Amino acid sequence: MAIFIIAEIGINHNGDIDTAKQLISGAADCGADAVKFQKRSIDKVYNADYLAQTRESPWGTTQRAQKEGLEFGEAEFAEIERCCQEHRIAWFASAWDLEAQEFLRQYEGRYNKVASAQLINHALLQMIAEEKKHTFISTGMSELEEIDAAVEIFRKAGCPFELMHCNSQYPMPDRDANLNVIQTLRDRYGCDVGYSGHETGIVISMAAAAIGISSIERHITLDRAMYGSDQAASVELVGFRRLVDGIRLIETAFGDGVKILSDGERAVREKLMPIETAMR
């Protein structure tokens, strides 16, 4: 089964629908299977004191201005859906609260996503699981017992899911990748396990692909120097294309496990085998 490749646009559009559309087009051109966004209800996710705090951004001087500047509404998501249909690529989003998940229900996507920060939000997990769409569950910042509880919710609801190994540092130091956790999760839960990467570069992601993941998610951007907290953990489209091409090459290189003498090898054998051996 081919690895499902997700281009995480997230909030790297910086509130600009034209940037989002460029990233959709670029992801599709690179060969991604889907693009992913994020959806928040600002007053549900953050408290009033936090939103009143000072923060300089292109949209103002408070946390509220920054958060609202990054948020897409119905008009923008309608454009996202149209653009994804045009480019024949799936899209979905990770909701950060119940109201946001309700908002996303107006679209008929095939997938859901649980962000690492919401893994312990059981009310949200139950709401997502009742939709019975294939759900990608990121496991950053979590203990095994917390993952146990999330898995139980999805299994009890009969909702198909896969876990995604993740380290939620932005960017993640390579030494913290701990890719062997992928097998730990696979053994513990008997389910497919993917990888959601926040490292710089693409080597760690290719290594994850080489150990048999079911999916991979990487943040993409037009320019890592753009404004935004996620840009440093993202890959530009040139790098994303290299990653997708590398993953597909890795899949091809694994083959089917059947030991055969290929036509190419046979030709070499005829040239290199000693005459005495060949005459036996």
Confidence (pLDDT) at 280: 53
Is the pLDDT score of 165 beyond 60? Answer: yes
Confidence (pLDDT) at 35: 98
Residue-wise pLDDT tens digits, 190-223 = 999 999 999 999 999 999 999 999 999 999 999 9
Confidence (pLDDT) at 36: 98
Is the pLDDT score of 33 beyond 70? Answer: yes
Output the six-digit token pair for 262. 């290929």
Report the chain's mean pLDDT, rounded to a whole number: 96
Indicate the pLDDT class of residue 243, thresholds 50, 70 and 90.
Answer: very high
* Stretch 107-116: mean pLDDT: 96
φ, ψ of residue 207 to 5 degrees: the values are -65, -40
* Stretch 147-175: mean pLDDT: 97
Is the pLDDT score of 275 beyond 90? Answer: no
The 3-class secondary structure across the chain, one letter per residue, is CCCEEEEEEECCCCCCHHHHHHHHHHHHHHCCCEEEEEECCHHHHCCHHHHHCEEEECCEEEHHHHHHHHCCCHHHHHHHHHHHHHCCCEEEEEECCHHHHHHHCCCCCCEEEECHHHCCCHHHHHHHHCCCCEEEEECCCCCHHHHHHHHHHHHHHCCCEEEEEECCCCCECHHHCCCCHHHHHHHHHCCCEEEEECECCCHHHHHHHHCCCCEEEEEEECCCCCCCCCHHHCEEHHHHHHHHHHHHHHHHHHCCCCCCCCHHHHHHHHHHCCHHHHHC
Residue-wise pLDDT tens digits, 149-158 = 999 999 999 9
Pairing state between β 54-57 and 60-62: antiparallel
CATH domain 4-279 topology: TIM Barrel (3.20.20)
Is the pLDDT score of 274 beyond 80? Answer: no
CA distance 73 to 53: 24
Higher pLDDT, 255 or 275: 255
Residue-wise pLDDT tens digits, 67-106 = 999 999 999 999 999 999 999 999 999 999 999 999 999 9
CA 12 and chain centroid, separation = 14
Indicate the pLDDT class of residue 278, thresholds 50, 70 and 90.
Answer: low
Confidence (pLDDT) at 103: 98
Confidence (pLDDT) at 1: 83
* Stretch 218-247: mean pLDDT: 97
Confidence (pLDDT) at 277: 60
Output the six-digit token pair for 23. 């990233």
Percentage with pLDDT > 70 across the chain: 98
